[in-house]
Structure 1
Amino acid sequence: MTQTQRTHAPPLRDIPDTLRGKRINALTLTPPPETLQSMFQFRSWHSDDAPVYKRMLDDPALWQFMPEDYPAPMTLDLAQDLIALSQHATHHKVRAVLWNGQIVGQMRLEWAQGATPPASGEISYWLGRAYWGQGLSTRMVALFAYRCFSNFPALQHLHARIHHENTPSLRIIHKLGFQPTPEPDPHTPDWGQFVLPRGAGPDWAALAGDGA
């Protein structure tokens, strides 16, 4: 092999964090239609979002099926602290969801282990009570799941934990192609475990015209 034929691996610092030590699945993803993608914006929380964040999360009904306890009272200072945590923690990606220019909820992707994106992660969401029943949740979760797979080539599976009595969320993940895992976690018997492989997902055309 001549000098011009010899190839070298790029320095580690030049390899994106999403690729370091990971097996990349080149499976082509089917993108959502543009009309569906344009429905929502996903961005980091800002410190000046704290009043909206506090108002939306200061609602016991919103916490009924969350794995964390309701942090009552939800103060403005606590809202600021939680926003700061979402901005700086490396074990997850947290995004405020905007619809028609208004914050309506949150999407989160948490890495299964460590700070560098591994092969799997857990997806979760909440939607403010004022926006329930308007057909936003399914599309919001579907688009965020697509973004996760699109932005992180090493990501092979998305996982979700849903309480057995949370009928709306169970309906959403089934519609999006999540499948129950064979063995539930014995430490959380009231919560079902579901997985979405890379490349699986919803019928975008049907979802674009769906009201749920």
Structure 2
Amino acid sequence: MMREVALRPIEDADLDTIFEFMRDPESVWMAAFTAEDPDDREAFDAHMRKVRARTDVTNRVIVGDGRVVGTIAIFVMEGDLEITYWVDRAVWGQGVAGRAVALILEEVTDRPIYGRVASDNAGSLRVLERAGFEKVGTDTGYAPARKEEIEETILRLS
């Protein structure tokens, strides 16, 4: 079990680790709404340059017991704040995502914040609901990781 979870800004030295997390096949399947090709390093680097340059994004790495174990961000999408996170599968079930969500919600106090989760991703749904997010609807969208349209649950923290 992780004893200490903290957030800090993403550094260039973190990018290799983050890229590897985002290539894990089981994690990609669960996240569903991922990069078209998780193995495309050039596309990953271009995306990271873009999001790290945006002033409307709070982008952090999750540090667990002194090592990078994921990422978390709150960003503006079509005028609404949205949360997203990715946790290394090696630490799933250890409370890392829940603690990281709590930390970023202390940092970003504007509300409402929305979350969108593949409806069959019970773990992520639990994380957001425990943080106070409430289900407000569903949508169907193309999930590149699954190469098909799937249902996603939309949650809101007021």
The normalised TM-score by structure 1 is: 0.61
Percent identity, aligned pairs only? 22
Count of aligned pairs: 148
For residues 185 and 59 of structure 1, the distance between their equivalents in structure 2, rounded to whole angstroms, comes to 25
For residues 186 and 49 of structure 1, the distance between their equivalents in structure 2, rounded to whole angstroms, comes to 33
4+ runs deviating over 6 angstroms? none
Amino acid at match of 1:167: A
CA contact (8 A) 1:93 1:108 kept: yes
CA contact (8 A) 2:10 2:60 kept: yes
Secondary structure of the equivalent of 1:90?
Answer: coil
The answer to whether residue 113 in structure 2 is matched with residue 158 in structure 1 is yes
Cα displacement string for residues 41-92 of structure 1 (whole angstroms, at most 9, x for unaligned residues): 32222222222122222212111133224523243x4444333223202342
The answer to whether residue 126 in structure 2 is matched with residue 171 in structure 1 is yes
CA contact (8 A) 1:46 1:83 kept: no
Higher strand share: 2
Aligned to 1:50: 15
Secondary structure of the equivalent of 2:30?
Answer: coil
* Post-superposition offset of 1:128: 0.8
* Post-superposition offset of 1:186: 5.8
Query: Among residues 48, 52, 59, which one is paired with 2:24 in the alignment?
Result: 59
Query: What is the RMSD of the two structures over their aligned residues, measured on CA atoms?
Result: 2.4
* Post-superposition offset of 1:144: 1.4
Aligned to 2:146: none
* Post-superposition offset of 1:112: 3.7
Q: Which has the larger radius of gyration?
A: 1
Q: Which has the higher contact order (CA 8 A, sep 6+)?
A: 2
Secondary structure of the equivalent of 1:64?
Answer: helix
Unaligned runs of 5+ in 1: 1-37, 115-119, 150-154, 198-212
* Post-superposition offset of 1:133: 2.4
For residues 185 and 48 of structure 1, the distance between their equivalents in structure 2, rounded to whole angstroms, comes to 36
Aligned to 1:144: 104
Structure 2 counterparts to residues 111-150 of structure 1, below 5 A: 111-113=76-78, 120-149=80-109
Unaligned runs of 5+ in 2: 142-148
The normalised TM-score by structure 2 is: 0.79
